[in-house]
Structure 1
Amino acid sequence: MLAAATALILPASAAAPKGEPFGTANGKPVEVFTLTNHKGLKLRAMTYGAIVLSLETPDRDGKSADVVLGYKTLDEYIKDTPYFGAVVGRVGNRIAKGKFTLDDKTYTLALNNDPGGIKCSLHGGLKGFDKVVWQGEGVEKDGVQGVKFHYLSKDGEEGYPGNLDVTVIYWLTDDNEWKIDYSATTDKATPVNVTQHSYFNLKGEGNGDILDHEITFKASRFTPVDAGLIPTGRLQPVEGTPFDFTTPHKVGERVNAEDEQLKFGGGYDHNWVLDNQSGGLALAAVVHEPTTGRTMEILTTEPGLQFYCGNFLDGQLTGKSGKPYNHRNALVFETQHYPDSPNQPTFPSIILKPGKTMKSTTVYRFGLKSGK
């Protein structure tokens, strides 16, 4: 049975947090905002990329640890990062061949990813939302601290049409929830699929692999991919495959199974079709790390969940604790619409039109489970 993490009680101010200087990027000052709650959770996020720098939460013994991967300095994020902690967009995930057609016009995007030697556009292009400086503002509502990030993605930026006005708000509640509210408007029809790309290790960042993390998905189908990790367009049942997490399984249990889909991704790097397709907030996944007792529930209004288990981490990046990030040292859970949606007419649409507002909510809720 899951229980809220209550072992450590810390004072948390109801006041809106204030930004603190963290360097300069793209010729603009970057600030860090620190959010706390009354249950021992602490989240730090900066205006460059709306990146979450750290997220501290207690284990079953009341000992706090940072459970997201990242760096100590801004320069490290600017130099080399696989989207640690960032908001990605304007379209998260992959677009086949870096092209899509909208209202009889074909748009061409940067080809910045080539899994299987097949080029595509990934996470918004060469300078997506993860590499820009957002406007940041500390906010407070009903005693809950938050930080509001705002960015105007101009018409033609990275090849996308329309001036897209985007707001992302991080909240840290006393229910031990990191809640993310997304909204966007546009003056031209444009695809939008914004998501969060934090790398989690519930043992603590830098504390080894995630193969013993136990996960459950509220998803009976997934979108199989080709060798370039582009969806084929089918929605395949997970039953009888290594992709069946409808009951709890450890990540390492089947990640190296003889399976074509796992070979394409080098492990899990796929989109699950969530059973809830209503657009309302619903449970999507549960994660449990047995040695610390930490749990994480993921709730979302989105129809899909991309699960990636750090297949491309290779020890060349050194994290904030001074430890290398090795193969499968983290889990990523990107709540989203499905990859390559602009080129897949049977997938839920990600086209935002003038006069409409894109709204989406995702919650990462932290707790504890007794025993091992």
Structure 2
Amino acid sequence: MSTGGSTRAASRTSAGQAPAPRSAAPSRAAGLVVALVVLVAIALLSIAVGARSIPLGTVVDALFHRDGSDSSYVVWSIRVPRTLIGIAVGASLGVAGALMQALTRNPLADPGLLGINAGAATAAALSVGVLGVTDLRAFVWFAFLGAAIAGFVLYVIAGRGGSSPVRLALAGTAVSAALTGLTQAMTLLDTQTLDQMRFWTVGSLERADGGTLVRVLPFLVAGVLLALFLARPLNALALGDEAGKSLGAHLGRTRGLTLLAVTLLAGAATAAVGPLVFVGLAVPHMVRAITGPDQRWVLPYCALLAPALLLLADVLGRVIAKEEIDVGVVTALLGAPLFIALVRRTKVARS
């Protein structure tokens, strides 16, 4: 082997990026197949379970034969759109959470850390309080626009691409606090805004429909594709700025594109169903326990397991009480103990 090749191999090995054993890739690929099967099973459960329980056999038959029956109507008009929006939003939040933790090198980061959720909420409140918007179809566009503006403001404040993970996280916290205060002021001073916002801010799949999915899906797909493209440079940045540069990663470009991907994913997901907490925080941790830190595997696993978790929480919200509980409440109840455990056991990156 040439001297240059030996040096590069040694650098990768010393940095913790040594090639995985040959058996690792097939096992991870098999794990992806298992994750896909789990997601499909929970999706079928989501379609079958509700205020009106439908036998699984009837659900499968209705999926392949739309016969105009009551069961077919419930499946296709209510539960399939709800399940599809859950899959799209869950995948987006899971991938956005993994990107956030890689970008800031903070294992406790989630999509809300950058102020994206707060930007969506502020724009939504403005659209209701100032423009009198009541149509959910228009509401979604305003919320996504607010998320995009918040992402741009953060990009400017933190410096081009974010000068460091710490500065990026601090700027995101400041933007989020300012926007949250503005939103709360508007909702307290305007009862109409409060009435419209209180349902959206809880986070729910129930009020989203097929039209909502169509509106946000292009942004979600673009965000996922961009995230997969960024997997290799994010692996390099995980070693530190200097090591990342030596491996050929462009720091500013990688951080800027990652911020764009998080804005597309978290912004569109929040606009569609409201802010959902802990999905983007919890799933990347579970995934890394299976795959290790390699983003080339972390991101696809998150795209499958995060929607499975979100749909499962949605199903639990339908059955644990007489009245349906919004999925945002269920994810908060499940995620809070996990977050406390992570805070107690994890050392947050400081540089």
Give the TM-score taking structure 1 as reference length.
Answer: 0.30
Question: Quick one: higher RCO (CA 8 Å, sep 6+), 1 or 2?
Answer: 2
Quick check: which has more Rg, 1 or 2?
A: 2
| Higher share in strand | 1
| Higher share in helix | 2
